[in-house]
Amino acid sequence: MKIIRSILEMRNLRKNISGLVGFVPTLGGLHDGHIAHLNKAKKKSDILIASSFLNPLQFSAKEDLYAYPINEKKDLEIFKNNGVDYAFLPTKEDMYQNLNSTFVDPGEIANVCEGKSRPGHFIGVATIVVKLFNIIEPNFVTFGQKDAQQLRIIKNIIKDLSFEIKIVEIPTIRDKEGLALSTRNTYLRSEEKKSANKIYQSLIMGSKLAKENNINSKFITDKIFSKLNEDPLITIEYIEIVDPITFNQVPSLSQNNLLVLAVKIGKARLIDNININTNE
Ligand code: AMP
């Protein structure tokens, strides 16, 4: 595995790569969820490129950019052991020379749910993803369903900006209690981990209520709110049932609905989602 730390070197190498290039972008702080991406991408590609770049543009001043638990040595081992040919770890200075004055705005979808809770977050994500696409020119990329709104935004970017890149969706990898794996899970103390397990239980409850033909979204989200709100360690940011294309709230369930939520537990801000549908 070759480690690359500059855009110029990455571009020069890319020029001489032939065959199908798969790309797995990450922030670093790798876990088994990321490994699922690497394994899937490895099977589909001739050359596998993975990046680790803690993108400051997608963190607000009050978020955990400086605490984000990254262990570069461990991440590089994981890349190497999972078939990565080129590990791209650019420096902030190289990625943001003199800071950007040009940004990619994903539009209305960037202002709801995660975008509403984290203003500017998706402009930061969209801008870095477009930069990485231009530097790496992959044939396909993997993105995780855990970050459902991000996944939708990347699909829009590929279509709207005419990138010739295929997207491979990776289902959410969970631990044995159902908690979606996340780099931020390392912040959880043992009591907090028990509280975090309730996130998936509440999504399952929502899915069950939908299957029992409760079509009123508020009825379902109120039930989940009550369940999570009982736990003093959980602070709810939002619980919404949305259209999976626009991420706008739907008052009553239709054919395709996504139940999305964000909570804070201790130092960890956690998000998760599940597709919910009625039985009809
Ligand atoms: P991150 O490093 O958190 O930005 O994640 C990099 C990629 O891994 C993104 O496409 C995420 O959606 C995806 N990802 C994060 N957690 C999981 C998980 N538990 N299961 C599957 N994919 C994940």
pLDDT per residue as tens digits for the range 123-139 = 999 999 999 999 999 99
Buried b (16+ CB within 10 A) or exposed e, 95-132: bbeeeeeeebebeebbebbbbeebeebbbbbbbbbbbb
Mean of pLDDT values over 221-241: 98
- In the predicted structure, residue 19 carries a pLDDT above the cut 80: yes
Q: How many CA atoms lie within 13 A of 203 on its CB side?
A: 23
Sequence-separated (6 or more) residues with CB below 8 Å from residue 61: none
**CATH 3.40.50.620 occupies which residues in the chain?**
2-170
Q: How far is CA 51 from CA 15, 132, 209, 231, 260, in A?
A: 18, 9, 40, 37, 27
How much distance in Å is there from the Cα of 215 to the middle of ligand 1? 30
Please give the CATH superfamily to which domain 183-273 belongs.
Pantoate-beta-alanine ligase, C-terminal domain (3.30.1300.10)
Give the separation between CA 94 and CA 92, rounded to whole angstroms: 5
Output the CA 171–ligand 1 centroid distance in Å. Answer: 9
pLDDT beyond 80 at 48: yes
Numbered ranges of CATH 3.30.1300.10 in the chain: 183-273
| Residue type, position 60, single letter | S
Q: Ligand 1 centroid to 280 CA: how many Å?
A: 32
The answer to whether residues 6 and 79 touch, using CB atoms and an 8 Å cutoff, is: no
Structure confidence at residue 280 as a pLDDT band (50, 70, 90): low
DSSP class of residue 46 equals S
Position 78 confidence tier, pLDDT thresholds 50, 70, 90: very high
Neighbours of 179 (CB within 10 A): 19
Q: Whose CA is nearest to atom 12 of ligand 1?
A: 144
Within 13 Å and on the Cβ side, how many CA atoms surround 260? Answer: 26
**Dihedral sign from CA coordinates of 29, 35, 38, 42:** positive
- On average, the pLDDT of the chain sits at 96
Binned at pLDDT 50, 70 and 90, residue 72 comes out as very high
Q: What is the percentage of the chain residues whose pLDDT exceeds 90?
A: 94
Is 34 one of the catalytic residues? yes
Domain 2-170 has CATH 3.40.50.620: yes
Predicted pLDDT of residue 45: 98
Measured in Å, residue 162 CA sits from the centre of ligand 1 at 24
Please state the pTM of the whole predicted model.
0.97
Which of 40, 71, 146 for mutating ligand 1's site (highest number of atoms within 8 Å of CB)?
Answer: 146
Q: Say if residues 131 and 100 touch (Cβ distance below 8 Å).
A: no
Q: What phi and psi, each to the nearest 5 degrees, are found at residue 175?
A: -85, 180
For tokens 């993108």, name the residue. 55
Mean pLDDT of 240-255: 96
Which residue ranges have their beta carbon within 6 Å of ligand 1? 26-27, 33-34, 36-37, 143-144, 146-147, 170, 172-173, 180-183
As a whole-number percent, the residues of the chain with pLDDT over 70 amount to: 100
pLDDT band at 98 (very low <50, low <70, confident <90, very high): confident
Give 183-192 pLDDT, tens digit per residue: 999 999 999 9
Q: Using alpha carbons, select from 163, 110, 173, 113 the residue that is nearest to residue 141.
A: 163
- Closest to 268 measured CA to CA, from 232, 233, 227, 244: 233
CA dihedral 25, 29, 31, 37 (to 10 degrees): 0
Q: Do the beta carbons of residue 53 and residue 72 sit within 8 Å?
A: no
Which of the following is catalytic: 31, 34, 37, 121? Answer: 34
Residue 142's Cβ-side half-sphere holds a number of Cα atoms within 13 Å equal to: 28
